Structure 1
């Protein structure tokens, strides 16, 4: 069968009617209003098809027949979905190996499969048949520390959050987070001559990144960004034409617009966090009545001055669960993606008009940031406001809904039905992989090896397999040019007598000292005091 089937002109048509028409014809036949001939002629449905449907006779479907039954393919679909839910998605190659293992375990030999291994065409056809349940997507990597966040951690977090957010309006709930924007427009789909092996475009880029502190409320208000340059001094041109007013907060509290700072390392520290809190957030918080809640994960930057001003201005800090920002941080979940897409678009336009500049100049950064926010907001009407509101909704903060986050964490409960035994085995394996605790590695003492010039080194299997000796040994042979450690000669000890000690003699002594308890051998002369 060809890869892309095309119907030949004049060939027999199959299923040239809607399922609703077939059901209507069968209904009238059951009610004895029509005979088979009348229903076939009225709805242009083949007589044999109506007879088989009416009598309950199951026939093979048209075109090619699948190797696996419908129940077997549904079992494969379930295995694929379980693996993706637990954070270990399968590739098309993995799916083909699963199918091969299943055929081998059943003792079935499929002639069209080489060594019972399905081909790539079968895998693509499988995806096409079950496109409503599974599809290919580009997966992003998350660390195991993030995968170890359990449902109990999230439930405990929302129990505390429900008490903290009680009777607090959405306009008083804020989320802050720092991010960085790079001097790299990234990859983009473009048009090339067909058959081009290495599609490339000429565009200067660097790994330079600038830190930005962003803060937004659950009601959709974005505070002016706080920019942190990597520098020791600040210049006036670096802070001109930056974000001010729309689409950020346009009230009197934020009338000065964005604020700028610099650090030697280029990212947020305790001093710059205090300055951001006092100069950017606190003026806006004072303009709002009632208690304010500030949610974030930068608790290491808290200072005594910040905590004191929180008590004075009725501001409460809420820390997120450890390694859970991909689930509970509103700005990470729904705001930064459209913002950085707009940043790369604005950066591309800037580089197209500054062809000879190898890097983004700091004097152009503030204006480029302002155009990025405008472009983000112009995606549709009030896009920034809607993105912030949907971000707080997706993280279950406003309105409060823990299920918004819990549904993203796989459940550890398994089914007890015998037909789901395969699924339970897969779930048990994935639980072990996701929450696996690695055994502590034994610290092995290093031993220096003596290597002659031009000789290679081979390990000694006996010494490497031994668990009682930490010192590796090698076997020196003329045929293998292997390596040998220098053996220590046996030391003879004798009892020192008083008559043997007199001026003019020498003593060979061994001294143990230093932080690593290294042994030193020295020769000491004896002299008369």
Structure 2
């Protein structure tokens, strides 16, 4: 069977429903004959005669034969699949075909499906009709998915707006900073190469493992770059690992940890000895970063207060949407980093990059980073210029977004509206029940079993016995 059929005849597309209706009115009124109406409105003579004699109904809104599943039920299934995708619970093609087969079996429908399950051709047609496709899903932590709540995000932007206004930083991008750390791989694999078509390409590396070195970087909304902090996975720093003067980024600092990750003490030292020195004497300064545990310390907060630096933490698990360095800088930086490391390895085959050379390379790519890229990150994050609408609606849970819009509408209508604690915290209904209500809006009423019920079976949550036991123990303690 031809899966990508191209219609050759234009008979069904040469006229519309309105043309057919007007032609019938003209003929029935006696103003023109059926033949003249056929010529004027480009309607086949046989088709017009059938409509005039009542043998056939009105012109169909679709071409070809009717769908195996009624259009309303198909639409319900498509909307349900789109809703589940937004929640991160997308179904595979096999699961969709099985759901359709169960639907046909439970409702005892007569379809051309053999043996009771739709095939590849039905799925391709269904996907084309409703704009669906097969795609590889991106892994997203549950905590990150849950944090994309309009109540939480908008509360952050309200706080950011108040801070910018109170500190008078709306027109001072050089006093708005962001810092973040990222790992730089010693055996890069992102850069593509040129080679013969149809054959696999290889790249010689220094070892089988993928060693990463953590680097902390900072930049402001004016595009200025601060010296980086390089964290090696060692016990002590040797002088030989420091980039020679004039070959690294000026002012680069170094640290050593057992696991090569950031720690609170190191972050505090960097803030005191490097960051405060770099930002100069102009105050006040706004510093924005994520809520990683190594970035939160009472000593750091006290030091920031003493130096007139206001710290604003991003909402948990929102860096991919709000943090300037994540939004635009690191991707460009690591692309150039890959190029530099590959070039070095080509001339030093089988050798590991010495730590002092790592310092030189990382300093080089950081110095060559275009300031406009850093400025772009602050713009994309809605920080400078301030823009609380940078995150589009499709990133949020649709039901939470509806509650937020209703909340905003109520606030506009009543200035003294009382907002309870539950609204402030955002949605509290479990996801399966929310999906139930979204899908139910488009549910068909004519079937014994609906696609809504079949889809909800796929997301039904199993009882957590361990959690239930903990709750029982807590209840017993409270009774005592």
With normalisation by structure 1, the TM-score equals 0.62
In 2, Cα distance between equivalents of 1:53 and 1:257: 87
Task: Look up the SS of the partner of 1:184 in the other structure.
Answer: coil
Q: Distance in 2 between matches of 1:97 and 1:341?
A: 43
In structure 1, what is the Cα distance between the partners aligned to 2:292 and 2:35? Answer: 77
Deviation of residue 402 (structure 1)? 6.6
Q: Is the 8 A contact 1:177 1:296 kept in 2?
A: yes
1:230-269 matches, cutoff 5 A:
230-231=233-234, 232-236=236-240, 238-240=242-244, 244=249, 256=250, 258-269=252-263
Aligned to 2:229: 226
Instruction: For residue 361 of structure 2, give the secondary structure of its aligned residue in structure 1.
Output: helix
Aligned residues: 411
Q: Which secondary structure does the structure 2 equivalent of 1:268 belong to?
A: coil
Shift of 1:351: 3.4
Residue among 288, 298, 302 paired with 1:294: 288
Gap runs ≥5 in structure 2? 401-433, 445-449, 471-480
Provide the C-alpha distance between the structure 2 equivalents of 1:60 and 1:187, rounded to a whole number of angstroms.
Answer: 48
Q: Which residue of 1 aligns with 2:104?
A: 103
| Cα separation, 2, equivalents of 1:338 and 1:54 | 64
Match of 2:308 in 1: 314
Q: CA deviation at 1:269?
A: 1.5
Aligned to 2:178: 175
In structure 2, what is the Cα distance between the partners aligned to 1:59 and 1:405?
37
Other structure's SS at 1:294 match: strand
Provide the C-alpha distance between the structure 1 equivalents of 2:247 and 2:135, rounded to a whole number of angstroms: 37
Number of the residue aligned with 2:164:
165
Q: Is the 8 A contact 1:83 1:430 kept in 2?
A: no
1: CA distance, partners of 2:364 / 2:12: 55
CA deviation vs aligned residue, 1:290-330 (integer Å, no higher than 9, x gap): 34243332354445653343123211122333444445434
Paired position in structure 1 for 2:354: 361
Partner SS state of residue 118, structure 2: coil
Structure 1 pair 360–441 and aligned structure 2 pair: CA distance change class (3 A): farther
Deviations 1:403-445 (A, max 9, x none): 83775231256469764476876897799759x97733879xx
| 1:388 shift after superposition | 1.0
> Compared with structure 1, are the counterparts of its residues 347 and 119 closer, same or farther at alpha carbon in structure 2 (3 Å cutoff)?
farther
1:334–1:390 CA contact under 8 A, matched in 2? no
437 and 294 in structure 1: CA distance in 2 versus 1, 3 angstrom threshold:
farther
Q: Which residue number in structure 2 is paired with residue 408 of structure 1?
A: 395
Residue in structure 1 matched with residue 83 of structure 2 by the alignment: 82
Q: Write the deviation string for residues 198-223 of structure 1: whole angstroms up to 9, x where unpaired.
A: x4524325321010112233454443
How is 1:373-452 mapped onto 2 (pairs within 5 angstroms)?
373=366, 377=370, 384-393=373-382, 399-401=386-388, 404=391, 408-410=395-397, 411-412=399-400, 414=437, 419-420=442-443, 439-440=466-467
Distance 1:298 1:6 in 2: 56
- Residues 184 and 212 in structure 2, CA contact (< 8 A), matched pair in contact too: yes
1:176 Cα deviation from its structure 2 partner: 1.8
Matches within 5 A, 1:443-462: none
The alpha-carbon deviation at position 273 of structure 1 amounts to: 1.0
Aligned CA RMSD, in angstroms, stands at: 4.5
The SS at the match of 1:440 is helix
1:239·1:366 contact (CA, 8 Å) conserved in 2? yes
Give the Cα separation in 1 of the matches to 2:197 and 2:259: 44
Q: Which has the higher contact order (CA 8 A, sep 6+)?
A: 2
CA distance in 2 between partners of 1:372 and 1:54 (Å): 74
| Aligned residue number for residue 511 of structure 1 | none
| Matches of 2:114 and 2:88, distance apart in 1 | 30
Distance of 2:2 and 2:304 partners within structure 1: 70
Report matched runs for 1:29-40 at 5 Å: none
Partners of 1:404 and 1:415 lie apart in 2 by: 22
Deviations 1:381-408 (A, max 9, x none): x651353134312xx7852527837752
Which residue in 1 is equivalent to 2:215? 212
Contact kept, 8 Å, 2:380 with 2:390, in 1: the verdict is: no
Partners of 1:96 and 1:209 lie apart in 2 by 43
Q: Note if contact 2:190-2:338 (Cα within 8 Å) is conserved in structure 1.
A: no
More helix as a share of residues: 2
Please tell me whether Structure 1 or Structure 2 has the larger radius of gyration of its CA atoms.
Answer: 1
Q: Tell me the distance in 2 between the aligned counterparts of 1:326 and 1:392.
A: 9
